[in-house]
Chain A
Amino acid sequence: MLELNKDTFEEEVLKAEGFVLVDYWSDGCEPCKALMPSIEELSEKYDGKVKFCKLNTTKARRLAISQRVLGLPAILLYKDGEKVGECSKDDATQQNIEAMIEKNL
Chain B
Amino acid sequence: MNKVYDLIIIGAGPAGLSAGLYASRAKMDVLILEKENKGGQIVTTSDVANYPGSIRNATGPTLIARMVEQCEEFGTQFEKGTVQKVDFSDDIKKLILSDGKELQAKSVIIATGAYPRKLDVLGEKRLTGKGVSYCATCDADFFTDMEIYCVGGGDSAVEEALFLTKFASKVTIIHRRDELRAAKSIQDKAFKNPKIDFIWNSVIDEIRGDGIVEEMVLKNTQTGEKTIIMADEEFGTFGVFVFVGYIPNTDVFKDQIEVNDKGYIETCDNLKTSKPGVFAAGDIREKSLRQVITAAADGAIAAIQAEKYISSKEY
Q: Is the CB of A28 within 8 A of B129?
A: no
Q: A-B pairs with CB below 8 Å: how many? A: 81
- Minimum distance in angstroms from A83 CB to a CB of chain B: 11
Residue A32 lies at the interface, judged by CB distance under 8 Å to chain B: yes
CA distance A41 to B59 in the complex (A): 24
Q: Is the CB of B46 within 8 A of A89?
A: no
Q: Which of A1-9, A10-18, A47-55, A58-66 contacts B (4 or more CB under 8 A)?
A: A58-66
Task: Tell me how many residues of B have a C-beta within 8 Å of chain A.
Answer: 31
For chain A residues 1-48, which have a beta carbon within 8 Å of chain B?
26, 28-35, 38
For chain B residues 187-241, which have a beta carbon within 8 Å of chain A?
211-213, 237, 239
Residue B138 lies at the interface, judged by CB distance under 8 Å to chain A: yes
Q: Is the CB of A71 within 8 A of B132?
A: yes
Interface-central residue, B59, B139, B237, B239, by most chain A CB under 10 Å: B139
Q: Is the CB of B211 within 8 A of A28?
A: no
CA distance A61 to B140 in the complex (A): 11
Contacts of B134 in A (CB 8 A): 89
Residue B37 lies at the interface, judged by CB distance under 8 Å to chain A: yes
- Given known contacts A57-B141, A71-B142, is B130 in contact with A34 (CB within 8 Å)? no
Residue B16 lies at the interface, judged by CB distance under 8 Å to chain A: no
Residue B182 lies at the interface, judged by CB distance under 8 Å to chain A: no
CA distance A64 to B131 in the complex (A): 12
- Minimum distance in angstroms from B276 CB to a CB of chain A: 34
| Majority secondary structure of chain B interface residues (helix, strand, loop or mixed) | loop
Q: Is the CB of A28 within 8 A of B39?
A: no
A26, A69, A89, A93: the one within 8 Å of B128 (CB) = A89
CA distance A89 to B131 in the complex (A): 12
CA distance A65 to B131 in the complex (A): 10
Q: Is the CB of B138 within 8 A of A72?
A: yes
Residue A97 lies at the interface, judged by CB distance under 8 Å to chain B: no
Residue A74 lies at the interface, judged by CB distance under 8 Å to chain B: yes
A32, A68, A93: the one within 8 Å of B138 (CB) = A32
Q: Is the CB of B43 within 8 A of A34?
A: yes
Q: Is the CB of B37 within 8 A of A34?
A: yes
- Minimum distance in angstroms from B44 CB to a CB of chain A: 5
B61, B130, B142, B239: the one within 8 Å of A30 (CB) = B61
CA distance A26 to B138 in the complex (A): 8
Q: Is the CB of A29 within 8 A of B137?
A: yes
CA distance A93 to B45 in the complex (A): 19
Residue B299 lies at the interface, judged by CB distance under 8 Å to chain A: no
Q: Is the CB of B129 within 8 A of A31?
A: no
Q: Is the CB of A30 within 8 A of B141?
A: no
CA distance A71 to B212 in the complex (A): 10
B131, B138, B239: the one within 8 Å of A28 (CB) = B138
Q: Is the CB of A70 within 8 A of B137?
A: no
Residues of chain A whose beta carbon lies under 8 Å from any beta carbon of chain B: 26, 28-35, 38, 57-58, 61, 64-65, 68-74, 88-90, 93
Residues of chain B whose beta carbon lies under 8 Å from any beta carbon of chain A: 36-39, 43-46, 59-61, 128-135, 137-142, 144, 211-213, 237, 239
Add 8 more A-B contacts to A68-B130, A73-B138 (CB < 8 A).
A29-B135, A61-B142, A70-B239, A71-B129, A71-B130, A71-B142, A72-B139, A88-B129
10 tightest Cβ-Cβ pairs between the two chains A and B: A71-B129, A88-B129, A34-B37, A29-B138, A89-B129, A68-B211, A72-B138, A71-B139, A30-B43, A28-B137
